[in-house]
Structure 1
């Protein structure tokens, strides 16, 4: 069913050409808000209101006064000829002249003047009374039109919004009523109402939080061509709210918004800065590209001061608003992905960022640590004379020793001093490794932090530990060497050693043959000692028939349920006597994680008929397993991928939702194949067979009718916006083409 089209501005434009001042005012409002144009055009709106004001139209006079307060740069001297006192008097006279038939918008405008403390006409009691009257007048008009006026529904929704009411000193807001009116307007196709409904579902304002519905309404808003609809949809894909994260779709939507003239995105962040972040982090459909990120970070420096000023004026903190020079320095310091490493360029960027912090926001502590390290390790590159180099190293060490002032990077700075023998005290190598692993774990989302930790871990020669061979920390992953090292310590009966030996034999690969019986042996030995990890591993052997006869599905499920119901500590840790890092990063999974995995396992194995209903949850849990512990541990990776394969087998290829679910699972599996660390010959054959099967099933359906549902609406909205934005896009063409090639 085609979405309703709400385009009253077409009629307003026709009437405005005939000299209708009210229609001209409404047209100007639609242009100001971006309803009737690809992007808001305040200059054109002000021009129309100026014409109306010159002709004595009091609403146009009010909007001209309001525009001057918001965008004074667009105003001319003649716009200030009518004082706010005169405008208030004219609005008052018009309301009194019409009595009970007064225009709701006129009453609303007068209330805004009286509730504005800076207007010189402040009267809180009368202003609140007028806002209440405006709501009543809008409601009466809506009833006469039998609820069929999307614009009035939108205005009522905003007039009842508690946040809007508080802004105007009105304490009679009602978010539930606000949502009801916005929903009515949205169902009639009103673009701003669609946007607000999506926002309400995400924030739980006036309705229960439902991220999936928030995404659905964002798609509807984007389909109308409304720029905030594109913005909202991009935000869902960027954050993964109600939908799988997809940076490639974010990239396309942000490019479209930029072509329309947008500079900000989401919570007021620079659009070009977000494009840079996507290219900096990579993933979710986008290849990491430091060169493209650098270009867009440089572009964001022109708009960032304005956004920071807006943030300060609003009094609200935006954690996403970061100084672009900080990330530019990180890119130069790390190098790679299209950019040559240059410590000198990194330091220059950070120094410039410090100068611009007042205008462009703070950079955080990472850049300070980076500068200190550069001074300590690369003074000969940064300075020309031996004296300058010596002073730089001395200052760098002294600054690093004040690590307590580095807040978020304090633990790393202390570990760095120990690792480089620059600390006043000494610490064992294993204790330093433990510090770095813990810090890296808590900062796994920060690419620069991970890079700094990995540098030190590599320098500490982690290849001497069996842990390093198992996880590939600083060395090539080698299960054969890990086996030798673990077996040499197996007599200690440490649960960690027993569990890792079981994992090695369960998965196999990396120079070691898979051995199910050996896996059962070591898991069983640890399970008898009460170790939860080994109990879980042993159960996986039983239910999958690895090294033993497979248990019946229901019996296997009972054992799994018993495991997660027993509770208690997981025992994920190592003993100090073995010289292994205590609570290594990869082994910090807890029973909550195991519980989620077992629940997914249970419904996939025992109740495949429920798969379509719970597919989203299952894929999410299994994907989190792969991206979390599975990113470094082949055992967890293998288990999660195996269950994803089973999901793909259970979902039938039919039209509608099930087909989309199957496609999503197969796409997820095939994508993971490119990153999967498993390398045994048998596993490669299994993966190849799955891939061929998925391609065979999907090849005959590529030419079918357009995909139904939310995706169809999103793509149609993108195409409509691209047509409308073509004129603006030409001037940015050269720059964007370069970015597209790098992200191909």
Structure 2
């Protein structure tokens, strides 16, 4: 096994559409917050049209408009058409929050959560988030759910997390819908229900949320909570991939590579693997390296294969380390170097990769890059043959090697294999390396 063939599970949205972030870029999270004169005035100020917007916003704030006060506070906090004054900005937002404006409460919570203009304090962030959430502010409800899930500013409580996700999801917040789907899929805080997971993923996916599209595609690919449908899986992966989701890009590449749900096309596989690989997605880096190694969908290029294997290996991927070891052993794309081959096979072997364990054993048997050590070689072959994904030749090679060993050597090799733990060298106790 020299490439990744299993589709990757997607993930939580896990990021709140926090008021401060939204307001300073694309607007408030809630439509009712955005559809206000103060927001329009602040947006004009952000675009450089300071007057008369600044004066009008100040006038509304002084007349008691809490929403206007929020945006005047933001202007001071960020230095938008005003001299930057964080202390004054925070006070104006706090005044609006104290008046009961959910928008301001959510913003103040964000300030405490990130340490923007105030000392970071997650307990205070939770307090203000909860105030806004209890008024029905969907973004705050979702954020409260996230804080319960992560145990930030409040004791971790997965049941409460699910309840708050639901409140926001029922208001149509796509991130909350996705994460409620994840909750049903995992059974954390609720009874596991794959059908409900699919329903919530679909709601968020149809709003265009890439991670939800990816999650829905995965459900179609494995037939969990919905009839398995590789064609629909590919369609939803494509929607997410075109938005730049690296997991979806990898999974779409995997489908082009295998022909699941669409026509096999290694050129398209390489294109999508590359998009994910350039985002640092390790499985895509491994598979792109493999395509260069074989010349599938791209011109055969051992140096490019080495480059991508190395990127993945540097992220700790065992399969990539094994593949890089084979390049050093054979001298493909790099100068032949048995010591480097030994190094990368050892990394893969310690991580439990059966191919790395078997390849390390070969070098130990032949004394390439290391002194001959048939005892350790036998132990590694034993482990490679007993792995969850065993190497097909390991058991036969182990038994052939055993014919050359003394009873004492065999006993020691078996002891080493029996006491080995993932992440360790042979004969090293846990906690040492």
Q: Report deviation, 1:383.
A: 8.8
- Alpha-carbon shift at residue 156 of structure 1 (Å): 1.9
* Structure 1 residue 420, shift from structure 2 partner: 7.8
Q: Quick check: 2:45–2:81 contact (8 Å CA) kept in 1? A: no
Q: In the alignment, is residue 111 of structure 1 matched against residue 77 of structure 2?
A: no
Q: In structure 1, what is the equivalent of residue 161 of structure 2?
A: 214
SS of 2:78 mapped into structure 1 = coil
Q: What are the Cα deviations for residues 49-104 of structure 1, in whole angstroms up to 9, with x where unaligned? A: 7xxxxxxx5552213445x6xxxxxxxxxxxxx722543333334445x3xxx322
CA apart distance, 1:228: 3.8
Cα distance change of structure 1 residues 399 and 177 upon mapping to structure 2, 3 Å threshold: same
Pair member with larger Rg: 1
Give the corresponding residue for 2:271: 352
- 1:102-133 CA-to-partner distances (Å, cap 9, x unmatched) read 3222222112112225x363322xx4224313
Preserved contact between residue 576 and residue 582 of structure 1 (Cα < 8 Å): no
Q: Which residue of 2 aligns with 1:366?
A: 286
In the alignment, which residue of structure 1 is the partner of 2:92? 133
Q: Aligned in 2, Cα 1:382/1:33: closer, same or farther, shift over 3 Å?
A: closer
| Coordinate RMSD, CA, aligned | 4.9
Matched, 1:123 2:84: yes
Q: 1:247 to 1:257 in 2, by over 3 A?
A: same
Cα separation, 2, equivalents of 1:407 and 1:219: 47
Check 1:349–1:415 CA distance in 2 against 1; reply closer, same or farther (3 A cut).
Answer: farther
In structure 1, what is the Cα distance between the partners aligned to 2:226 and 2:367? Answer: 41
Structure 1 counterpart of 2:29 = 33
Change beyond 3 A, Cα 1:430–1:246: farther
Listed as ranges, the gaps of 5+ residues in structure 2 are 1-26, 301-325, 400-406, 425-433
Report the CA distance between 1:214 and its aligned residue: 0.8
**Which of 249, 256, 264 pairs up with 2:210?**
264
* Aligned counterpart in structure 1 of residue 381 of structure 2, from 433, 440, 446: 433
Contact conserved, 1:212 with 1:242, CA < 8 A, in 2? yes
- In structure 1, how many angstroms separate the alpha carbons of the residues matched to 2:297 and 2:168? 53
Aligned-pair CA distance for 1:198: 1.5
2:236 counterpart of 1:296: yes
TM-score normalised per structure 1: 0.38
The reply to whether residue 90 of structure 1 matches residue 31 of structure 2 is: no
Deviation at 1:226, TM superposition (A): 3.8
Instruction: Name 1:159's counterpart in structure 2.
Output: 108
Whether the aligned pair in 2 keeps the contact of 1:276 and 1:294 (CA below 8 Å) is yes
Name the structure 1 match of 2:357: 415
Contact 2:247 2:281 in 1 (8 A): yes
Change (3 A) 1:398 1:339: farther
Structure 1 position 207, deviation (Å): 1.7
Q: Deviations over 1:436-464 (max 9, x none)?
A: 368x5xxxxxxxxx7xx44xx22335799
Aligned to 1:582: 418
CA distance in 1, matches of 2:256, 2:170: 40
- Cα distance change of structure 1 residues 323 and 60 upon mapping to structure 2, 3 Å threshold: closer
- C-alpha distance in structure 1 between counterparts of 2:411 and 2:223, whole Å: 36
- Structure 2 length normalisation: TM-score? 0.61
Is the 8 Å Cα contact of residues 366 and 409 (structure 1) preserved in structure 2?
Answer: no
Distance 2:215 2:348 in 1: 24
Secondary structure of 2:379's counterpart equals helix
| Displacement after TM superposition at 1:202 (Å) | 1.3
For the Cα contact (< 8 Å) 1:107–1:131, is it kept in 2?
no
In structure 1, the residue matched to 2:393 is: 459
Cα distance between partner residues in 1 of 2:182 and 2:223: 16
Q: Which of the numbers 143, 149, 169 marks the counterpart of 1:196?
A: 143
Distance 1:329 1:396 in 2: 29
- 2: CA distance, partners of 1:396 / 1:381: 25
Q: Residues of 1 paired with 2:367 and 2:291: CA distance?
A: 18
Alpha-carbon contact 1:186-1:193 (below 8 Å) kept:
yes
Long gaps (5+) in structure 1: 1-30, 50-56, 69-81, 143-151, 266-270, 308-320, 385-392, 441-449, 466-491, 493-573, 589-744
CA 1:291–1:581: 2 relative to 1, 3 Å: farther
Query: Does the 8 Å contact 2:205/2:216 carry over to 1?
Result: no
1:247–1:283 Cα contact (<8 Å) kept: no
Give a deviation string over 1:214-260, Cα, whole Å, max 9, x none: 1122223333444343133123234543235554433322222122x
Give aligned pairs, total. 347
Do the aligned partners of 1:183 and 1:197 also contact (CA within 8 Å) in 2?
Answer: yes
Partner SS state of residue 170, structure 1:
coil
1:145 — aligned with what?
none
1:619-669 deviation line (CA, Å, top 9, x unaligned):
xxxxxxxxxxxxxxxxxxxxxxxxxxxxxxxxxxxxxxxxxxxxxxxxxxx
